[in-house]
Amino acid sequence: MLAVLLGAPLAAAVLVGVLVLKIVLDTRGKLEVLSAVPTFPEVGWLGHWPWWKQTDIWKKIQAKAKALGPVFRVRLGPVPMLVVSDPAEYVRACHRGDDYLDKATDAYECFNKVHFGPWCQNILSMGSDEQWKVIRRALSPCFSTSRMKPAFEVTAKITQSILDQVAAAGPSKSFDVSDLARRVTVGVISQWGFLCPTSADDLSSTCAFVEQQQKTATAVHQLWMDPFWWLTLWTDKSARLHRENCRMYDNTMAEYTKSLQARFDELPPDTIAGALLRATNPKTGQRLAFHELKSNVAIVHAAGFETTSSTFSSMMVLLLQHPHALREVEKELDAVGLLKTATCPSPRPLEWSDIGRLAYLPAVVKEALRLMPPASLGTVRITGKPTKICGYDVPAGVAVNFPHAVVDRSAAAYGADADEFVPERWMDKSLKDAGNLKEPVAFSVGPRDCVGQALARVELVTVLAMIIARFMPVLDTAINTFVDLERQCQYRLTLAYVDGVYIKFEPR
C-alpha cells in the first residue's frame, strides 16, 4: 500500500527532476557557445534578473551597451539572452530573409495571461504564423491613407474640446499632459476605430477606462519583468491586487467585445472593430472564437493610446527644453496661417491637408520618438537556427533583445550628436544612412512593425500643432534638463512619467 501511495508522488518528482535537468543542460550548452559574448557578474541562479527588473532598465541597458559594446549577454534565470544595439543587425534580423528572426513568443506570454479563461495569443504576442498574417491583413486597411483623414477629424475634434476646457481653466491651472494625451488617444481609438463614443475628453471627471488600462499595464509589466511573480500570489498583497485588476479588465473587455459582436452589421470592414469581427482562423476557416477576438480587441485598444500618450509627454518636454525648436514650430505654423498672433488673432483651424504640408513639426515628432521611444526595450526575437550576430556564434533557441532606446541612439546611424535633440536631422537630405535607419525604430521595422503607426503620427502632429497654435506652454514641473527628463521616466511596458508632466497653458 505504501509503495502504491508513494508511486504517484515519486513519479511526479522524477518527471520534474528530468525536466529541470533538461533545462539546466540546455542552458549550459547555449552558454558554452555564447561564452565569448561580453557579459557582467550574475546573482546566483537568478542570473541578471535583479538587474533586469529595475524601473530604469532602459537606462541600465544604455550604460551596459556603452561599456560592453553592441552586443552583450544576460541570463534571466535559466534563459540566456543577447542584448543587441547594432542598427545593421537590428534591420537584418527584422526584415524577411535568411537572417530573419521571428518573435520570441515566450517573452510575450504576459500579454496573454492578462485574460482569464483560455489564454490566447494576439497580434502582438503570436509568432509570424498564418493566423498572425490573417489578422495583420485584416487590420492593415484600417490604417490606410484614406482612413487617416477621418482619424484626423476625430483627433482634432477631441483635442479642440479638451483645449477649450484648458483655456476656460485659465493660465494659472496646471495640467498633466500625460493625462490629456491619454484622453485624446483613448477617445480616438474608441470613436474612430471601434465607433464607440466616450467621455474621455471631459476633464471634469476621471476617465475610468484609462485608469483601468493603467492598472492592468502595471500588472502585465510585473508578469513580463518577473515570470515567477505568480508564485507570490499567496504571500504578496500587491500581487493579488494586480491579479484582481487583470480580472476586472478581462471582464470589461469581455463585455466590450460582446457589444461589438451585437453591432456587427453597423461596423464597416475598414474600422478596427469591423476588421477583427470579420477575421477568420485559418485552421478552422471560421471567424475568430470569442476569446481570440477579445484578446485582439484588448491589445489593439491598449496599444492605441498608451504608447502615443507617452511619446506626446516626452515631445512636449523636449520642445519646451529647446526654445530654438519651439520657435521653428511657431514659424512654420505662422507661415501657413495657423498661429495666433497680434496680427492674426483668429487663425484658421488646422486642416487635413496641413498634415502633409508641415515639415519641421513632424521632424520634432520623429526626434522625440528616437530619443524617448515608448517601447524602449524594443522587441525580443528568437534564433530559429544557428547563426552569427555581431560576429559571434549563436545557437538556435536563443532570445535576442533589440532595445529601441539604444538602437536609436547609435552613433553609427546618427553621428556624434546621437544623444541630443536635433529635429533638423530629419530634414537634412544628405543625412548619412549608416545604419539603414531612415526612420526612428520606435515602431519597429519589417513585417512585425506597428500596424497603427500612421495613426500615432497623425495624432502626435495634430495635437502638438493645435496646442502650439493657440497656447504658449510653460513647464510646471522640475524637468529642466534632458537628464531630468530621463530620470522622471520609469519603464512600465512603455516609458511612463509616474509623477506626471505638468504644464501651464498661457493663451497667445
The annotated binding site for heme is made up of 450
Is residue 379 within a helix (H) or strand (E), and if so which, with residue range? strand 379-382
d(CA 83, CA 40): 12
Q: How many Cβ atoms are within 10 Å of 496's Cβ, its own excluded? A: 23
Non-local (6+) Cβ contacts of 200 within 8 A are 158, 182, 183, 184, 186, 187, 190, 207, 209, 210
Geometric angle at alpha carbon 31, from 27 and 32, rounded to 5°:
120
d(CA 291, CA 119): 8
Instruction: Provide Rg for the chain, Cα atoms.
Output: 24
Closest CA to 185 of 164, 197, 200: 200
Local structure of residue 291 (DSSP, 8 states): H
CA separation, residue 265 to residues 273, 274, 477 (Å): 11, 9, 48
d(CA 51, CA 74): 10
320: its cell numbers: 519646451
Give the pairing type, strands 174-176 and 102-103. unpaired
Region label for 357, one of left (φ > 0), alpha (ψ between -120 and 50) or beta (otherwise)? alpha
Non-local (6+) Cβ contacts of 488 within 8 A are 477, 479, 497, 498, 499, 501
Question: Do residues 506 and 471 touch, judged by C-beta distance below 8 A?
Answer: yes
Local structure of residue 190 (DSSP, 8 states): I
Question: Do residues 476 and 503 touch, judged by C-beta distance below 8 A?
Answer: yes
CA separation, residue 93 to residues 75, 87, 260, 394 (Å): 21, 10, 37, 13
Binding-site annotation: residue ranges? 450
d(CA 340, CA 226): 50
Evaluated on CA atoms 289, 135, 375, 319, the torsion sign reads negative
Question: In 105-207, which residue ranges form alpha helices assigned H by DSSP?
Answer: 110-113, 130-139, 145-169, 177-188
Closest CA to 90 of 366, 389, 371, 419: 389
Compute the residue count for the chain: 508
The packing angle between helices 237-262 and 208-225, to 10°, is: 120
Q: How many Cβ atoms are within 10 Å of 334's Cβ, its own excluded? A: 16
Closest CA to 54 of 501, 492, 497, 485: 492
